[in-house]
Structure 1
Amino acid sequence: MQDSIGKPVGDKPDDSTAVTRAGQSVFMSVYKTKVADECWLITITWCKNMLLHGLSVAIDGPQAETSCKVELKPWYFWRKQGSKSFLLDGKAIDVFWDLKSAKFHGETEPSSEYYVAVVCEDEVILLLGDLKKDAYRKTGCRPSLFDPILVSRKEHVFGKKKFLTRIKFHEKGRFHEISIEAKNISTDHDGVDSEMEIRIDGHLMIHVNHLQWKFRGNESIDFKKVKLEVYWDVHDWLFSPGLRHALFIINSTSPASFPARSLPSSVTSTPLSSQSGSGGSSEGFDSSGLYEFCLFLYAWKVE
Protein backbone atom coordinates (compact mmCIF):
# COMPACT_ATOMS: atom_id res chain seq x y z
CA MET A 1 0.00 0.00 0.00
CA GLN A 2 1.19 3.52 -0.81
CA ASP A 3 -0.30 6.51 0.96
CA SER A 4 1.58 9.41 -0.59
CA ILE A 5 -0.36 12.10 -2.39
CA GLY A 6 -1.42 11.18 -5.87
CA LYS A 7 -0.41 7.51 -5.55
CA PRO A 8 -2.59 4.40 -5.68
CA VAL A 9 -3.95 3.36 -2.29
CA GLY A 10 -5.30 -0.10 -1.58
CA ASP A 11 -6.59 -0.11 2.02
CA LYS A 12 -8.26 3.07 3.13
CA PRO A 13 -8.12 3.84 6.88
CA ASP A 14 -11.11 4.74 9.00
CA ASP A 15 -11.22 8.54 8.82
CA SER A 16 -14.14 9.16 11.18
CA THR A 17 -11.84 9.93 14.12
CA ALA A 18 -9.91 12.43 12.01
CA VAL A 19 -13.16 14.07 10.92
CA THR A 20 -14.20 14.53 14.56
CA ARG A 21 -10.82 15.73 15.76
CA ALA A 22 -10.18 18.16 12.92
CA GLY A 23 -13.77 19.37 12.70
CA GLN A 24 -13.60 19.10 8.94
CA SER A 25 -16.58 18.93 6.62
CA VAL A 26 -16.67 15.93 4.28
CA PHE A 27 -18.81 15.46 1.16
CA MET A 28 -18.52 12.04 -0.47
CA SER A 29 -20.44 11.22 -3.67
CA VAL A 30 -20.60 7.76 -5.24
CA TYR A 31 -21.25 7.41 -8.98
CA LYS A 32 -22.06 4.25 -10.91
CA THR A 33 -20.52 4.01 -14.36
CA LYS A 34 -19.71 1.33 -16.90
CA VAL A 35 -16.36 0.24 -18.34
CA ALA A 36 -16.26 -2.52 -20.96
CA ASP A 37 -19.75 -3.76 -19.96
CA GLU A 38 -18.72 -3.91 -16.28
CA CYS A 39 -20.19 -1.70 -13.56
CA TRP A 40 -17.69 0.39 -11.61
CA LEU A 41 -18.22 2.70 -8.63
CA ILE A 42 -16.30 5.98 -8.46
CA THR A 43 -16.20 7.86 -5.17
CA ILE A 44 -15.40 11.57 -5.14
CA THR A 45 -14.58 12.96 -1.67
CA TRP A 46 -14.15 16.64 -0.88
CA CYS A 47 -13.01 17.65 2.61
CA LYS A 48 -12.37 21.02 4.19
CA ASN A 49 -10.99 22.28 7.46
CA MET A 50 -9.33 25.51 8.53
CA LEU A 51 -6.07 24.70 6.72
CA LEU A 52 -6.87 22.86 3.50
CA HIS A 53 -9.23 21.63 0.86
CA GLY A 54 -8.79 17.98 0.00
CA LEU A 55 -9.88 15.92 -3.01
CA SER A 56 -9.89 12.13 -3.18
CA VAL A 57 -10.89 9.99 -6.15
CA ALA A 58 -11.46 6.28 -5.42
CA ILE A 59 -12.45 3.70 -8.03
CA ASP A 60 -13.99 0.36 -7.14
CA GLY A 61 -13.79 -2.09 -10.00
CA PRO A 62 -15.33 -5.56 -10.22
CA GLN A 63 -12.18 -7.33 -8.93
CA ALA A 64 -10.03 -4.83 -7.03
CA GLU A 65 -10.00 -1.42 -5.45
CA THR A 66 -7.51 1.43 -5.69
CA SER A 67 -7.57 5.18 -5.33
CA CYS A 68 -5.82 8.35 -6.35
CA LYS A 69 -5.67 11.01 -3.64
CA VAL A 70 -4.90 14.69 -4.15
CA GLU A 71 -4.68 17.17 -1.27
CA LEU A 72 -4.97 20.87 -2.05
CA LYS A 73 -3.20 23.06 0.49
CA PRO A 74 -3.19 26.86 0.07
CA TRP A 75 0.58 26.99 -0.16
CA TYR A 76 0.84 24.16 -2.72
CA PHE A 77 -0.60 25.96 -5.75
CA TRP A 78 1.00 23.60 -8.26
CA ARG A 79 -1.18 20.76 -7.04
CA LYS A 80 -4.36 22.57 -8.09
CA GLN A 81 -3.90 21.29 -11.65
CA GLY A 82 -2.53 18.00 -12.83
CA SER A 83 -3.10 14.33 -13.55
CA LYS A 84 -2.25 10.91 -12.16
CA SER A 85 -2.25 7.47 -13.75
CA PHE A 86 -2.59 3.98 -12.31
CA LEU A 87 -3.87 0.51 -13.22
CA LEU A 88 -7.12 -1.11 -12.13
CA ASP A 89 -7.97 -4.66 -13.20
CA GLY A 90 -5.36 -4.36 -15.92
CA LYS A 91 -6.90 -1.16 -17.34
CA ALA A 92 -5.09 2.18 -17.46
CA ILE A 93 -6.88 4.89 -15.43
CA ASP A 94 -6.11 8.59 -15.67
CA VAL A 95 -7.46 11.24 -13.32
CA PHE A 96 -7.27 14.86 -14.52
CA TRP A 97 -8.15 17.94 -12.46
CA ASP A 98 -8.03 21.71 -12.82
CA LEU A 99 -8.94 23.64 -9.67
CA LYS A 100 -6.77 26.74 -10.20
CA SER A 101 -9.79 29.05 -10.48
CA ALA A 102 -12.33 26.92 -8.63
CA LYS A 103 -15.00 28.91 -6.78
CA PHE A 104 -15.95 27.37 -3.44
CA HIS A 105 -17.99 30.26 -1.98
CA GLY A 106 -17.26 28.98 1.52
CA GLU A 107 -18.49 25.45 0.75
CA THR A 108 -16.66 22.14 0.79
CA GLU A 109 -17.39 21.35 -2.86
CA PRO A 110 -16.53 23.81 -5.64
CA SER A 111 -19.49 25.36 -7.43
CA SER A 112 -17.89 26.56 -10.68
CA GLU A 113 -14.69 27.15 -12.70
CA TYR A 114 -13.26 23.63 -12.34
CA TYR A 115 -13.24 20.08 -13.67
CA VAL A 116 -12.36 16.61 -12.40
CA ALA A 117 -12.22 13.92 -15.08
CA VAL A 118 -11.68 10.16 -14.86
CA VAL A 119 -10.54 8.49 -18.08
CA CYS A 120 -10.36 4.80 -19.00
CA GLU A 121 -9.58 3.33 -22.41
CA ASP A 122 -9.89 6.68 -24.22
CA GLU A 123 -13.30 7.38 -22.67
CA VAL A 124 -14.17 10.01 -20.06
CA ILE A 125 -16.18 7.79 -17.72
CA LEU A 126 -16.83 10.57 -15.17
CA LEU A 127 -16.66 14.35 -15.59
CA LEU A 128 -17.50 16.83 -12.84
CA GLY A 129 -17.49 20.61 -13.03
CA ASP A 130 -18.46 23.24 -15.55
CA LEU A 131 -15.23 23.43 -17.57
CA LYS A 132 -16.20 20.48 -19.76
CA LYS A 133 -14.66 21.78 -22.99
CA ASP A 134 -11.34 22.33 -21.21
CA ALA A 135 -11.53 18.80 -19.79
CA TYR A 136 -12.14 17.13 -23.17
CA ARG A 137 -9.39 19.22 -24.75
CA LYS A 138 -6.94 18.27 -21.99
CA THR A 139 -7.75 14.56 -21.97
CA GLY A 140 -8.13 14.21 -25.74
CA CYS A 141 -10.77 11.56 -25.12
CA ARG A 142 -14.41 11.06 -26.07
CA PRO A 143 -17.38 10.95 -23.69
CA SER A 144 -18.56 7.57 -22.47
CA LEU A 145 -21.76 6.17 -23.95
CA PHE A 146 -22.92 5.42 -20.39
CA ASP A 147 -23.94 8.45 -18.32
CA PRO A 148 -22.72 8.06 -14.74
CA ILE A 149 -25.44 7.85 -12.08
CA LEU A 150 -25.13 9.44 -8.64
CA VAL A 151 -26.27 6.65 -6.29
CA SER A 152 -25.27 7.83 -2.82
CA ARG A 153 -23.87 10.76 -0.91
CA LYS A 154 -22.32 10.96 2.53
CA GLU A 155 -21.81 14.24 4.36
CA HIS A 156 -20.33 15.41 7.65
CA VAL A 157 -21.68 18.86 8.56
CA PHE A 158 -21.29 20.99 11.69
CA GLY A 159 -23.71 23.36 13.40
CA LYS A 160 -25.49 24.26 16.62
CA LYS A 161 -29.21 23.74 16.00
CA LYS A 162 -29.85 23.76 12.26
CA PHE A 163 -28.23 21.69 9.52
CA LEU A 164 -28.63 22.15 5.76
CA THR A 165 -27.83 20.00 2.76
CA ARG A 166 -28.95 19.63 -0.87
CA ILE A 167 -29.87 16.50 -2.84
CA LYS A 168 -31.42 15.51 -6.17
CA PHE A 169 -34.34 13.10 -6.39
CA HIS A 170 -34.04 12.72 -10.18
CA GLU A 171 -30.88 12.33 -12.21
CA LYS A 172 -31.65 15.41 -14.33
CA GLY A 173 -33.74 17.24 -11.74
CA ARG A 174 -32.85 20.27 -9.67
CA PHE A 175 -31.34 20.29 -6.21
CA HIS A 176 -33.69 20.41 -3.22
CA GLU A 177 -32.71 21.89 0.13
CA ILE A 178 -33.16 19.71 3.19
CA SER A 179 -33.03 21.37 6.61
CA ILE A 180 -32.94 19.62 9.98
CA GLU A 181 -33.51 21.55 13.19
CA ALA A 182 -33.67 20.29 16.77
CA LYS A 183 -34.72 22.58 19.59
CA ASN A 184 -35.91 22.64 23.18
CA ILE A 185 -39.34 24.04 24.06
CA SER A 186 -40.92 24.96 27.38
CA THR A 187 -43.90 22.96 28.62
CA ASP A 188 -46.91 24.07 30.66
CA HIS A 189 -45.37 22.72 33.85
CA ASP A 190 -42.10 24.65 33.54
CA GLY A 191 -40.40 21.64 32.05
CA VAL A 192 -38.36 21.31 28.87
CA ASP A 193 -39.24 19.12 25.92
CA SER A 194 -37.26 18.44 22.71
CA GLU A 195 -38.57 18.39 19.16
CA MET A 196 -37.16 18.05 15.66
CA GLU A 197 -38.30 19.35 12.28
CA ILE A 198 -37.20 18.13 8.85
CA ARG A 199 -38.11 20.39 5.93
CA ILE A 200 -37.67 20.11 2.17
CA ASP A 201 -37.54 23.41 0.29
CA GLY A 202 -39.06 25.04 3.37
CA HIS A 203 -42.03 22.65 3.57
CA LEU A 204 -42.41 20.83 6.88
CA MET A 205 -42.27 17.09 6.15
CA ILE A 206 -41.49 15.48 9.51
CA HIS A 207 -42.19 16.83 13.00
CA VAL A 208 -41.03 14.72 15.96
CA ASN A 209 -42.31 15.66 19.41
CA HIS A 210 -40.79 14.26 22.61
CA LEU A 211 -37.51 13.68 20.84
CA GLN A 212 -35.90 12.37 24.03
CA TRP A 213 -38.28 9.39 23.75
CA LYS A 214 -38.18 9.07 19.95
CA PHE A 215 -34.45 9.58 19.37
CA ARG A 216 -34.43 6.73 16.82
CA GLY A 217 -37.08 6.18 14.19
CA ASN A 218 -38.09 6.22 10.56
CA GLU A 219 -40.94 7.65 8.52
CA SER A 220 -42.12 7.42 4.89
CA ILE A 221 -43.08 10.63 3.11
CA ASP A 222 -44.06 11.69 -0.41
CA PHE A 223 -42.55 14.77 -2.02
CA LYS A 224 -43.22 15.75 -5.64
CA LYS A 225 -44.17 12.19 -6.69
CA VAL A 226 -41.07 10.72 -5.05
CA LYS A 227 -41.25 8.29 -2.17
CA LEU A 228 -38.76 9.05 0.59
CA GLU A 229 -37.81 6.92 3.55
CA VAL A 230 -36.17 8.93 6.33
CA TYR A 231 -34.26 7.31 9.20
CA TRP A 232 -32.81 9.20 12.16
CA ASP A 233 -30.65 8.43 15.18
CA VAL A 234 -30.12 11.49 17.43
CA HIS A 235 -29.20 9.60 20.62
CA ASP A 236 -25.81 11.26 21.01
CA TRP A 237 -27.28 14.72 20.52
CA LEU A 238 -29.37 14.20 23.64
CA PHE A 239 -27.35 11.95 25.90
CA SER A 240 -23.62 12.21 25.08
CA PRO A 241 -21.18 14.92 26.25
CA GLY A 242 -18.76 16.88 24.09
CA LEU A 243 -18.85 16.99 20.30
CA ARG A 244 -21.97 15.01 19.40
CA HIS A 245 -23.32 13.72 16.12
CA ALA A 246 -26.61 12.45 14.77
CA LEU A 247 -27.10 10.20 11.75
CA PHE A 248 -29.80 10.74 9.12
CA ILE A 249 -30.39 8.45 6.14
CA ILE A 250 -32.67 9.65 3.34
CA ASN A 251 -33.48 7.09 0.68
CA SER A 252 -35.38 8.04 -2.47
CA THR A 253 -36.82 5.61 -5.02
CA SER A 254 -39.41 5.60 -7.73
CA PRO A 255 -42.84 4.79 -6.23
CA ALA A 256 -43.23 1.62 -8.30
CA SER A 257 -40.00 0.07 -7.06
CA PHE A 258 -39.99 1.36 -3.48
CA PRO A 259 -39.79 -1.65 -1.14
CA ALA A 260 -40.96 -1.95 2.44
CA ARG A 261 -38.03 -1.30 4.75
CA SER A 262 -37.13 -1.51 8.39
CA LEU A 263 -34.46 0.49 10.17
CA PRO A 264 -31.09 -0.83 8.94
CA SER A 265 -28.88 -2.56 11.47
CA SER A 266 -26.04 -0.29 10.36
CA VAL A 267 -27.78 2.74 11.87
CA THR A 268 -25.84 3.07 15.10
CA SER A 269 -24.36 5.93 17.07
CA THR A 270 -20.92 5.31 15.55
CA PRO A 271 -20.14 7.29 12.37
CA LEU A 272 -18.98 5.45 9.31
CA SER A 273 -15.62 6.22 7.79
CA SER A 274 -15.73 9.21 5.50
CA GLN A 275 -13.43 7.32 3.16
CA SER A 276 -15.16 3.93 3.20
CA GLY A 277 -17.25 2.34 0.46
CA SER A 278 -20.43 3.73 -0.97
CA GLY A 279 -22.82 2.70 1.80
CA GLY A 280 -25.69 3.25 -0.63
CA SER A 281 -27.34 1.14 -3.25
CA SER A 282 -25.74 1.04 -6.68
CA GLU A 283 -28.84 -0.41 -8.29
CA GLY A 284 -32.48 0.59 -8.58
CA PHE A 285 -32.59 3.19 -11.35
CA ASP A 286 -34.53 2.99 -14.61
CA SER A 287 -34.81 4.69 -17.98
CA SER A 288 -37.38 7.16 -16.67
CA GLY A 289 -34.68 8.98 -14.71
CA LEU A 290 -36.06 7.88 -11.34
CA TYR A 291 -33.45 6.00 -9.36
CA GLU A 292 -32.61 4.85 -5.89
CA PHE A 293 -30.40 7.26 -4.02
CA CYS A 294 -29.14 7.30 -0.41
CA LEU A 295 -27.97 10.31 1.54
CA PHE A 296 -26.03 9.65 4.73
CA LEU A 297 -25.83 12.84 6.78
CA TYR A 298 -23.71 13.07 9.92
CA ALA A 299 -24.74 16.22 11.78
CA TRP A 300 -22.21 17.27 14.42
CA LYS A 301 -23.45 19.59 17.17
CA VAL A 302 -20.98 22.27 18.24
CA GLU A 303 -21.81 24.04 21.49
Structure 2
Amino acid sequence: MVLLPGDLLGPPPSNAVFIAKRVFYSTKAQFCDNGQSHEVAIECDTVGLQDPCLAIHIDRKRVMQIKRLAWKFRGNQTILVDGLPVAVFWDVHSWLFGPPFGSAVFVFQTCLSATELLPWSTSHILWESQLHAWRNE
Protein backbone atom coordinates (compact mmCIF):
# COMPACT_ATOMS: atom_id res chain seq x y z
CA MET A 1 0.00 0.00 0.00
CA VAL A 2 1.34 3.40 -0.96
CA LEU A 3 0.10 6.75 0.30
CA LEU A 4 0.53 9.73 -1.96
CA PRO A 5 0.30 13.42 -0.97
CA GLY A 6 -3.33 14.40 -0.86
CA ASP A 7 -4.69 10.94 -0.07
CA LEU A 8 -6.11 12.06 3.27
CA LEU A 9 -7.87 15.19 1.99
CA GLY A 10 -11.20 13.49 1.35
CA PRO A 11 -13.15 11.04 3.42
CA PRO A 12 -11.98 7.45 3.13
CA PRO A 13 -14.10 5.21 0.95
CA SER A 14 -16.41 3.02 2.97
CA ASN A 15 -15.95 -0.39 1.47
CA ALA A 16 -15.77 -2.37 4.70
CA VAL A 17 -18.16 -5.31 4.76
CA PHE A 18 -19.23 -7.17 7.90
CA ILE A 19 -18.42 -10.83 7.30
CA ALA A 20 -18.60 -12.65 10.61
CA LYS A 21 -18.53 -12.14 14.34
CA ARG A 22 -17.53 -14.66 16.97
CA VAL A 23 -18.15 -14.01 20.65
CA PHE A 24 -16.49 -16.27 23.23
CA TYR A 25 -16.90 -16.07 27.00
CA SER A 26 -15.47 -18.46 29.58
CA THR A 27 -15.81 -18.65 33.37
CA LYS A 28 -15.80 -21.12 36.27
CA ALA A 29 -19.01 -22.21 38.01
CA GLN A 30 -20.08 -24.56 40.78
CA PHE A 31 -23.61 -25.97 40.35
CA CYS A 32 -24.12 -27.48 43.82
CA ASP A 33 -22.77 -26.78 47.31
CA ASN A 34 -20.34 -29.70 47.53
CA GLY A 35 -19.81 -30.12 43.79
CA GLN A 36 -16.69 -29.56 41.81
CA SER A 37 -15.90 -26.39 39.89
CA HIS A 38 -16.60 -26.55 36.15
CA GLU A 39 -15.35 -24.47 33.24
CA VAL A 40 -18.34 -22.97 31.41
CA ALA A 41 -17.72 -21.60 27.91
CA ILE A 42 -20.30 -19.78 25.79
CA GLU A 43 -19.65 -19.32 22.08
CA CYS A 44 -21.81 -17.36 19.65
CA ASP A 45 -20.79 -17.67 16.01
CA THR A 46 -22.42 -15.50 13.35
CA VAL A 47 -21.14 -16.52 9.95
CA GLY A 48 -22.46 -13.78 7.69
CA LEU A 49 -25.59 -13.53 9.90
CA GLN A 50 -27.24 -16.19 7.68
CA ASP A 51 -27.26 -18.98 10.25
CA PRO A 52 -25.86 -17.85 13.62
CA CYS A 53 -25.49 -20.52 16.29
CA LEU A 54 -24.87 -20.64 20.02
CA ALA A 55 -22.91 -23.37 21.79
CA ILE A 56 -22.36 -23.95 25.50
CA HIS A 57 -19.48 -26.12 26.68
CA ILE A 58 -18.99 -27.54 30.17
CA ASP A 59 -15.40 -28.67 30.82
CA ARG A 60 -14.65 -28.39 27.06
CA LYS A 61 -17.48 -30.77 26.16
CA ARG A 62 -20.35 -29.32 24.10
CA VAL A 63 -23.56 -29.85 26.07
CA MET A 64 -25.86 -27.57 24.09
CA GLN A 65 -26.03 -26.10 20.59
CA ILE A 66 -28.74 -23.78 19.30
CA LYS A 67 -28.97 -23.37 15.54
CA ARG A 68 -31.11 -20.79 13.71
CA LEU A 69 -30.34 -18.34 16.51
CA ALA A 70 -31.88 -15.45 14.57
CA TRP A 71 -35.27 -17.07 15.31
CA LYS A 72 -34.37 -18.49 18.73
CA PHE A 73 -32.54 -15.52 20.25
CA ARG A 74 -34.42 -16.06 23.54
CA GLY A 75 -35.07 -19.44 25.05
CA ASN A 76 -34.27 -22.13 27.57
CA GLN A 77 -33.07 -25.72 27.63
CA THR A 78 -32.19 -28.22 30.36
CA ILE A 79 -28.75 -29.85 30.45
CA LEU A 80 -27.21 -32.39 32.84
CA VAL A 81 -24.08 -31.52 34.81
CA ASP A 82 -22.78 -34.25 37.14
CA GLY A 83 -26.20 -35.92 36.92
CA LEU A 84 -27.88 -32.73 38.13
CA PRO A 85 -30.39 -31.03 35.79
CA VAL A 86 -29.46 -27.41 35.07
CA ALA A 87 -31.87 -25.08 33.27
CA VAL A 88 -30.10 -22.69 30.89
CA PHE A 89 -31.88 -19.46 29.89
CA TRP A 90 -30.49 -17.13 27.23
CA ASP A 91 -31.27 -13.79 25.58
CA VAL A 92 -28.84 -12.83 22.81
CA HIS A 93 -31.03 -10.33 20.94
CA SER A 94 -28.57 -7.45 21.46
CA TRP A 95 -25.66 -9.59 20.26
CA LEU A 96 -27.44 -10.24 16.97
CA PHE A 97 -29.53 -7.15 16.30
CA GLY A 98 -28.21 -4.45 18.65
CA PRO A 99 -25.19 -2.16 18.59
CA PRO A 100 -21.73 -3.62 17.92
CA PHE A 101 -21.03 -3.90 21.65
CA GLY A 102 -24.43 -5.29 22.64
CA SER A 103 -24.87 -7.46 25.71
CA ALA A 104 -26.41 -10.87 26.30
CA VAL A 105 -27.96 -12.55 29.34
CA PHE A 106 -27.32 -16.16 30.38
CA VAL A 107 -28.80 -17.75 33.51
CA PHE A 108 -27.90 -21.22 34.80
CA GLN A 109 -30.37 -22.53 37.40
CA THR A 110 -30.09 -25.92 39.07
CA CYS A 111 -33.27 -28.02 39.30
CA LEU A 112 -33.44 -30.24 42.37
CA SER A 113 -36.64 -32.14 41.59
CA ALA A 114 -38.19 -33.79 38.55
CA THR A 115 -41.20 -31.43 38.67
CA GLU A 116 -38.89 -28.50 38.06
CA LEU A 117 -37.84 -30.06 34.76
CA LEU A 118 -41.39 -29.74 33.41
CA PRO A 119 -41.98 -26.01 32.94
CA TRP A 120 -45.78 -26.29 32.58
CA SER A 121 -46.38 -28.87 35.30
CA THR A 122 -49.60 -28.50 37.28
CA SER A 123 -47.56 -28.40 40.47
CA HIS A 124 -45.63 -25.42 39.13
CA ILE A 125 -46.99 -21.94 39.68
CA LEU A 126 -46.05 -19.65 36.79
CA TRP A 127 -45.12 -16.56 38.78
CA GLU A 128 -42.70 -18.51 40.98
CA SER A 129 -40.56 -19.57 38.02
CA GLN A 130 -40.34 -16.35 36.01
CA LEU A 131 -36.98 -15.23 34.68
CA HIS A 132 -36.31 -11.51 34.84
CA ALA A 133 -33.56 -10.03 32.68
CA TRP A 134 -32.81 -6.42 31.91
CA ARG A 135 -30.19 -4.34 30.16
CA ASN A 136 -28.58 -1.22 31.57
CA GLU A 137 -27.56 1.37 29.01
- TM-score range with shorter-chain normalisation? 0.5 to 0.7
Residues 229-244 of structure 1 aligned to structure 2 (within 5 Å): 229-244=87-102
Identical pairs, percent: 29
| Structure 1: gaps of 5 or more residues | 1-159, 272-303
1:163 alignment counterpart: 25
Q: Is the 8 A contact 1:196 1:209 kept in 2?
A: yes
Q: Is the 8 A contact 1:228 1:250 kept in 2?
A: yes
Residue-by-residue CA offset, 1:157-180 (whole Å, 9 max, x unaligned) = xxx610011111221222101100
Equivalents in 2 of 1:193, 1:161: separation in Å? Answer: 15
Equivalents in 1 of 2:52, 2:115: separation in Å? Answer: 35
Residue-by-residue CA offset, 1:19-58 (whole Å, 9 max, x unaligned) = xxxxxxxxxxxxxxxxxxxxxxxxxxxxxxxxxxxxxxxx
User: Which of 172, 182, 199 lines up with 2:34 in the alignment?
Assistant: 172
1:227 alignment counterpart: 85
1:267 alignment counterpart: 133
What amino acid sits opposite 1:167 in the alignment? A
1:256 to 1:214, Cα distance in 2 relative to 1, 3 A? closer
Equivalents in 2 of 1:257, 1:170: separation in Å? Answer: 18
Quote the offset at 1:265 in angstroms: 4.8
| Structure 2: gaps of 5 or more residues | 1-21, 120-125
Structure 1 residue matching 2:94: 3-state secondary structure: helix
Equivalents in 1 of 2:52, 2:114: separation in Å? Answer: 36
Q: Does 1:206 align with 2:64?
A: yes
Equivalents in 2 of 1:167, 1:233: separation in Å? Answer: 19
Structure 2 residue matching 1:236: 3-state secondary structure: helix
1:255 to 1:194, Cα distance in 2 relative to 1, 3 A? same
Quote the offset at 1:257 in angstroms: 6.7
Residue-by-residue CA offset, 1:225-254 (whole Å, 9 max, x unaligned) = 101100000000011114210000100132
Residue-by-residue CA offset, 1:255-274 (whole Å, 9 max, x unaligned) = 45735437735134x25xxx
User: Which of 184, 198, 206 lines up with 2:46 in the alignment?
Assistant: 184
Residue-by-residue CA offset, 1:34-92 (whole Å, 9 max, x unaligned) = xxxxxxxxxxxxxxxxxxxxxxxxxxxxxxxxxxxxxxxxxxxxxxxxxxxxxxxxxxx
Equivalents in 2 of 1:259, 1:185: separation in Å? Answer: 33
Across the aligned residues of Structure 1 and Structure 2, the Cα RMSD in angstroms comes to: 2.3
Q: Is the 8 A contact 1:225 1:255 kept in 2?
A: no
Return the structure number with greater relative CO, CA threshold 8 A, min gap 6.
1
Q: How many residues align?
A: 107
Structure 1 consecutive aligned stretches of length 4 or more whose deviation exceeds 3 Å? 255-263
Q: Is the 8 A contact 1:226 1:255 kept in 2?
A: no
TM-score normalised by the chain length of structure 2: 0.67
What amino acid sits opposite 1:197 in the alignment? A
Structure 2 residue matching 1:264: 3-state secondary structure: coil
